[in-house]
């Protein structure tokens, strides 16, 4: 069994988080979202995985390498070009990415699972494959019911009693949507389906290939399966997923470090004034973090490695990326913070005047301190 992971998107709905990282590499409890997905594929017996990359491609390729650490083989298909040692992304659409891989080496020579790289799933892949084969589908699409007010964020499916898809709408407006059954970005393809994708042109799975399957009356089926699906498509989705993970609501995802108090996990070599701080879990404090006296931390909160909370800082239900430094007395509530930005849980930019130190300044201070200590 083989798989293809779609990871070439620029993550515009996740900005500014994706200015520094491609969206599949956003960390969730210390690991990229994409790593959880690869682990799930491996647990289902899928050992050969292709990943298409474009936006900040080296961040993905250098982290996962050839996949040995995760017990799989990983190949990459970069969409773009390199000029004067500089990378220029040029995504060619999700379907165009499949065709590019097929034309190069014929990877899709058997039934293949295709998944988006920015979601957490616990789908029973074996059962989905069996249903696909039983119905002799050319393409199968796993769907989930979503609230009507969210239909414009998804591909929307209408199917008959047997599951055969009779209509596919890519992100319709609420008053135009024909159902509220949404594509989860989980597809099963037979190799022959790729022949419908034009050679050398940008082409999208949802916007172009799926309507083509419907128009030609080809065996295109929806599967309504019971499984957990956390689509991390925007900033609020990401904030919410971290909140749920810290509360223990996502199976097989737990904070790293040592749980030294109920609901409080700590990494190595932290410095925390336990007697003069208030910490209410679930909270994770990463390695090398420094929490000064008078700080108040209310969970679910994630504090990345190398962070520093100066005296009296208060952090509530927030995410602090690594090496973020929070000024003395600052109050931050339900935000995502790095040294380069601070956004609300809904993605709105916040200007917490003086509350967040620059990332470079924070890391330089920590590095300088370590160098001094090493000389003592």
- DSSP per residue, 95-148: HHHHHHHHHHH---SS-EEEEETTEEE---HHHHHHHHHHTT-SEEEEEEE--G
What is the structure's pLDDT at 82?
85
pLDDT of residue 360: 40
Question: pLDDT class for 267, splitting at 50, 70, 90?
Answer: very high
**pLDDT (tens digit, 9 = 90+) per residue, 67-104?**
999 999 999 999 998 888 888 888 999 999 999 999 99
How sure is the predictor about 375, in pLDDT bands with cuts at 50, 70 and 90?
very low
Residue 372 pLDDT > 50: no
Q: Please report the pLDDT score of residue 367 as a whole number.
A: 44
Who has greater pLDDT, 154 or 339? Answer: 154
pLDDT score at 350: 82
Contact status, residue 7 vs residue 25, Cβ threshold 8 Å:
no
Q: Which helix (H) or strand (E) holds 362?
A: helix 359-375
- Over residues 304-336, the pLDDT tens digits come to 999 999 999 999 999 999 999 999 999 999 999
Q: How large is the average pLDDT for residues 174-179?
A: 93
**What is the structure's pLDDT at 175?**
92
pLDDT of residue 363 exceeding 70, the answer is no
- Band (pLDDT 50/70/90 cuts) for residue 355 is low
Domains of the chain: 2-235 (3.90.550.10), 257-375 (2.160.10.10)
Mean local confidence (pLDDT), 8-24: 88
Can you give the pLDDT at residue 253? 87
Tens-place pLDDT, residues 28-37? 998 999 999 9
Task: Note the pLDDT of residue 376.
Answer: 40
pLDDT in tens, 97-141: 999 999 999 999 999 999 999 999 999 999 999 999 999 999 999
Structural tokens at position 266: 């700590």
pLDDT range class, residue 354, cuts 50, 70, 90: low
Rounded CA-CA distance 245/267 in Å is: 17
Residue 352's pLDDT band, with cuts at 50, 70 and 90, is low
Indicate whether 220 pLDDT > 50.
yes
Q: Residue 369: is its pLDDT beyond 50?
A: no
Q: Is the distance from CB of 330 to CB of 351 less than 8 angstroms?
A: no
Give the tokens for residue 368.
């300088």
Q: Under DSSP, is residue 357 helix (H, G, I), strand (E, B) or coil?
A: strand
Whole-model pTM? 0.88
Q: Nearest 5°: CA angle at 347, between 332 and 251?
A: 85
Task: State the pLDDT at residue 300.
Answer: 97
Average pLDDT for the chain:
90
CB 5 within 8 A of CB 115: yes
pLDDT higher than threshold 70 for residue 195? yes
Model pLDDT, residue 12:
85
Give the span between the Cα atoms of 358 and 362, in whole angstroms. Answer: 6
With 0-12 / 13-18 / 19 or more C-beta atoms within 10 angstroms meaning exposed / middle / buried, residue 59 is middle
Q: How many Cα atoms are found within 13 Å in the side-chain-facing hemisphere of 354?
A: 4
Please report the pLDDT score of residue 364 as a whole number.
42
């Amino acid at each position: 069994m083989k798989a293809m992971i779609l990871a070439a998107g620029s993550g515009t709905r996740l900005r500014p988080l994706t200015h520094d990282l491609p969206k599949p590499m956003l960390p969730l409890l210390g690991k990229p979202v994409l790593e959880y997905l690869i682990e799930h594929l491996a647990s289902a017996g899928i050992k050969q995985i292709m990943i298409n990359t474009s936006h900040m491609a080296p961040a993905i390729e250098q982290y996962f390498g050839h996949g040995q650490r995760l017990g799989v083989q990983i190949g990459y298909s970069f969409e773009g070009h390199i000029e004067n040692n500089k990378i220029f992304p040029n995504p060619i659409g999700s379907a165009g990415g499949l065709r590019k891989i097929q034309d190069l080496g014929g990877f899709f020579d058997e039934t293949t699972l295709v998944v988006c790289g920015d979601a957490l799933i616990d789908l029973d892949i074996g059962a989905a494959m069996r249903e696909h084969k039983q119905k002799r589908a050319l393409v199968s699409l796993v769907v989930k019911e979503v609230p009507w007010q969210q239909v414009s964020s998804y591909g929307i499916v209408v199917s008959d009693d047997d599951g055969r898809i009779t209509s596919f709408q890519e992100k319709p407006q609420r008053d135009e949507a024909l159902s509220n059954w949404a594509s989860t970005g989980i597809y099963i393809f037979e190799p022959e389906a790729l022949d419908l994708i034009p050679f050398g042109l940008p082409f999208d799975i949802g916007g172009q290939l799926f309507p083509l399957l419907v128009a030609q009356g080809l065996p295109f089926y929806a599967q309504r399966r019971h499984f957990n699906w956390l689509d991390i498509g925007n900033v609020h989705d990401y904030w919410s997923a971290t909140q749920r993970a810290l509360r223990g609501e996502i199976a097989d995802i737990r904070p790293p470090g040592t749980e030294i108090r109920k609901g409080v996990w700590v990494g190595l070599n932290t410095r925390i004034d336990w007697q003069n701080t208030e910490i209410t879990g679930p909270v994770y404090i990463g390695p090398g973090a420094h929490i000064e006296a008078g700080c108040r931390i209310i969970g679910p909160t994630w504090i990345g490695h190398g962070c520093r909370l100066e005296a009296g800082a208060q952090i509530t239900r927030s995410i602090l990326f690594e090496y973020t430094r929070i000024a003395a007395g600052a109050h931050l509530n339900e935000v995502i913070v790095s040294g380069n930005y601070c956004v609300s849980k809904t993605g709105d930019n916040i200007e917490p005047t003086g509350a967040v130190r620059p990332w470079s300044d924070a890391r330089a201070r920590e590095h300088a301190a370590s160098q001094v200590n090493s000389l003592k």
